[in-house]
Structure 1
Amino acid sequence: MKRVLLSAYACSPYKGSEYCVGWSWAVGLASKGFEVWCITNTEDHEDCEKEKQELKLDNLHFIPIKFPFVADKYWLNNSKKVIYAHYFLWKKKASNVAVSLHEKYNFDIAHHVSYGSFQQGSSLYKLDDCKIIFGPVGGGQMSLPIFKPYFGSSWGTEIIRKYMSEFLMKYNTSLNETLKKADVILTVNEETKTLLKTSKYYKEGHDFSVSDSALPKQFEGNQFNAKEPTEEFRILWVGRLIPRRGLELSLKALSFLPEYVNFKLIIVGDGEQGGKVQGWIKKYKLDPSKIQHLGWIPYSQVHEEYENADVMLFCPLRDTAGLQATEAMGFGLPIITMNISGMRTIVTEDCGIKITPTTTDGTAEDIANAIEHMYSNPDFRKKASEQAYKRAMANTWENKIDAVTAQFY
């Protein structure tokens, strides 16, 4: 069986987002029989080893890249900007570790999966005589100017991000060397594919579209339960409360709903904008009794909210993909979302309603119209619920890894 070197900076069996991506690839490849060496950071190494033993995957080897105590203790913090400095240093050291491992084990394939940032490149570009796969990666998506009001003072950061992307495209050695060496580049959305094609190192026929969102393992046993219409229409919003996730836009949209729509919005998550929720409720003259902010809750309770909701409202202003939407679909929730970035492909027309951004107010009104349509058309909602469940059940990590390995390994 082939030997695989996996680059997964974030990797944890107990966390979501990038951590889930790294872990799912590591376990998924090992479960298919590949001999896998996974280079990662130290943050969740003990959890990875513990769960690996439980799964009896002796062909999976975790290689944590360690730094002096200060760097790993204070910089390895995903909630702060210093994480990018840690990742930069990690990539440099990981490149050398990868070369040493390759000299020892002679890998057939070197595959980068996390972080899934296109502009950052990979730590695997120094390897010779093995197939290099870069991705799935995103990062080409940029915030539209019409969304500026929802970013507030952080809009400047969005502008800096745009210029930084242009700088990295030209001058980031890690990225440019990765694009030169990679045999396969997997992009998660059209924006990133378009950005890739602007590089002078773009090689036609080597890039393919693959979403980095799939149904987590613990959801795969879900059974479809048709939701009967109730008096109260429960709308679920899940995510970190940061500007690009667009909670303010969703609350503004609710202000355009006609009075006969008897809704309740349940907000799961917290973050830097958590303290602004009550102010937004007042700003848009919403009934506070119709908004419930739960903050961070245990994963088991999130499952309950998925089961009890009628629809998921997930309208990020900029996002690579949307694991929340995939999870919600696994519980049969129709999705109301934006027709941009990863959500463009994760949610199909028969799974919900996708809104193409127009103007600042126009987009909010279109979201309101989508909510009203879901509320007023239970038959449409029921069909969208069934299709959402079917699509999520087909979009498992096992199926995704089967497809990628069959085509590229």
Structure 2
Amino acid sequence: MDRLKILVSAYACSPYQGSEPGMGWGWIKEISRYHDLWVICEESESRIDVEAELEKNPQMRDRVKFFYIRIVRSRILGSYSLPSFYIYYKNWQKKVYKLACSLHEQIGFDLLHQLNMIGYREPGYLWKLPVPFVWGPVGGTADVPLRFASVLGPSQFLYHFARNTVNAWQLRYHNRVKAALNHADGFVTATSDEHNAFLRITGKDSVVISSTAIDTDENSSKPSGSYYETGNPLKLVYAGIHVSRKAIPIALRALALVPLKYRWHLDILGTGPMTSSWKHLATRLGINKNCTWHGWLPHRSDAVCIMERADALVFPSLQEGFPTVVLEALSKGLAVICFDHCGMADAVNNNCGIKIPVTTPKQAIQGFAEAVEQLAANPDELKRLSAGALKRAQEYSWQNRAGKMLNVYEKALSRRKTAS
């Protein structure tokens, strides 16, 4: 395929951050190897980091041109509280569309790509232009299973009940979501669960491509001497924001069930509104002496070092898209213990981790406890999963993901050409 002229809407884009900003940068960097990109980002989220990276790698300016629009927030409604953020975000998308129309008149784009934020609730307006349109990877349909109310607590149960209800309504009746789906020549979902939800509820088929990936050239091997040996503590790690849907109490209660003959230590990275209550729970369970609460570390390299020393990632999250931390763990040769749903169900297989069925809180806690005990009792199994993790990570390289997206582009162009 010849180099295309592609306009990308990427609200969050940064080479120095994780989550949505890192995902935006990863896609742009990789796709720009094959096509010329004009990228519209949110100014305060992206500009400083993007321009700093372009100073280091000026050759990217030949392939990518960045434009910045600042989101305008209300002091009365707050900055990021939901649903107020979507009010600001919708207005930002309107400005993106206005700029896109102007740029298209000057350049004549071959294709438009609505990249992020990945949540389906705000599809933007690029689909209104008479140009082949690709949307995704899209996420946001996953709900917290309400049968885990005892883990969430009363107030958080009510929050997730409300969110689940709104989510069900929006997916079925949001007019602009319907319009974007109808106009999408290429539609990409971030997980198999997302694919199934859109197909079941809207009838729209999609290609499943994980929303994020890893640079496998930077993460190619497990440091020597880091494997767990019988008699030493099993080194576990959790990384992520401390909010109710992450469900760390499941892991803590599970660890409290592990027989005393199996020694373990849990490094907990991150912080958030649930940190204090989770620390209190660890103390009540009598396991806090085996936990180190690191908070947010100032340098990403510090977090990477902790993960590299670990044997396994414990990730009991009840609601995710495609979690970057799971890919990072796999790339470091960590076995992963997680639920068998959301993006974890796609990323983790029997060769690199242990997936726990989403049944009841009691059964889930027992399942996580048995998984930890299995690894603690069997170093050879842990070594097998570690080798499998490194192999699995290779399948989620940016090069691999970009190849799949380029196929979506090609089919989108063909579909629009056939329709006209």
**Alignment partner of 1:173 is 2:171:** no
Aligned-pair CA distance for 1:318: 0.7
Does the 8 Å CA contact 1:75/1:86 hold for their aligned counterparts?
A: no
Cα 1:97–1:400 shift into 2, 3 Å: same
Cα 1:79–1:166 shift into 2, 3 Å: closer
**Where in structure 2 are the equivalents of 1:115-264 lying within 5 Å?**
115-128=117-130, 130-152=131-153, 153-200=155-202, 202-203=203-204, 206-215=205-214, 217=215, 220-226=218-224, 227-230=226-229, 231-264=232-265
Unaligned 5+ segments in structure 2 are: 411-420
TM-score (norm 2): 0.90
SS in 2 for 1:197: helix
**Alignment partner of 1:91 is 2:93:** yes
1:344-370 C-alpha deviation (Å, 9 max, x unpaired): 011111101000122111110011000
Does the 8 Å CA contact 1:269/1:295 hold for their aligned counterparts?
A: yes
CA RMSD of aligned residues (A): 2.1
Aligned-pair CA distance for 1:403: 2.4
State the distance in 1 between where 2:238 and 2:362 align: 20
Aligned-pair CA distance for 1:164: 1.5
Cα 1:75–1:305 shift into 2, 3 Å: farther
Does the 8 Å CA contact 1:252/1:364 hold for their aligned counterparts?
A: yes
The equivalent of 1:41 in structure 2 is: 42
Cα 1:233–1:67 shift into 2, 3 Å: closer
State the distance in 2 between where 1:223 and 1:239 align: 23
1:60 to 61, 64, 72: 64
1:291-318 C-alpha deviation (Å, 9 max, x unpaired): 1100001211111111111111011111
Cα 1:159–1:42 shift into 2, 3 Å: same
Number of residue pairs matched?
400
State the distance in 2 between where 1:10 and 1:218 align: 23
Does the 8 Å CA contact 1:189/1:342 hold for their aligned counterparts?
A: yes
The equivalent of 1:9 in structure 2 is: 11
1:16-52 C-alpha deviation (Å, 9 max, x unpaired): 00111111111111123x1101111011212212212
The AA in structure 2 aligned to 1:363 is A
SS in 2 for 1:176: helix
The equivalent of 1:292 in structure 2 is: 292
**Seq. identity, %:** 26
The AA in structure 2 aligned to 1:289 is K
Cα 1:172–1:95 shift into 2, 3 Å: farther
Cα 1:2–1:118 shift into 2, 3 Å: same
Aligned-pair CA distance for 1:108: 1.0
Task: Out of 174-183 and 99-108, give the one that drifted further.
Answer: 99-108
Aligned-pair CA distance for 1:219: 6.6
The equivalent of 2:283 in structure 1 is: 282
State the distance in 1 between where 2:347 and 2:292 align: 27
Aligned-pair CA distance for 1:170: 3.9
Does the 8 Å CA contact 1:219/1:330 hold for their aligned counterparts?
A: no
Cα 1:190–1:94 shift into 2, 3 Å: same
**Alignment partner of 1:337 is 2:338:** yes
1:126-172 C-alpha deviation (Å, 9 max, x unpaired): 111x2211111111211112211222212222122122123323442
The AA in structure 2 aligned to 1:377 is N
The equivalent of 1:322 in structure 2 is: 323
Cα 1:345–1:403 shift into 2, 3 Å: same
1:259-312 C-alpha deviation (Å, 9 max, x unpaired): 1110011100001111112211133x2232101100001211111111111111
1:323-356 C-alpha deviation (Å, 9 max, x unpaired): 1010011110010011001100111111010001
Unaligned 5+ segments in structure 1 are: none
The equivalent of 2:105 in structure 1 is: 103
Does the 8 Å CA contact 1:136/1:212 hold for their aligned counterparts?
A: yes
Cα 1:112–1:76 shift into 2, 3 Å: farther
1:100-124 C-alpha deviation (Å, 9 max, x unpaired): 2222221111111211112332332
Does the 8 Å CA contact 2:331/2:393 hold for their aligned counterparts?
A: yes
Aligned-pair CA distance for 1:393: 2.7
TM-score (norm 1): 0.92
Does the 8 Å CA contact 1:10/1:114 hold for their aligned counterparts?
A: yes
Aligned-pair CA distance for 1:404: 1.5
Aligned-pair CA distance for 1:63: 1.3
Does the 8 Å CA contact 1:52/1:60 hold for their aligned counterparts?
A: no
The AA in structure 1 aligned to 2:350 is E
SS in 2 for 1:18: helix
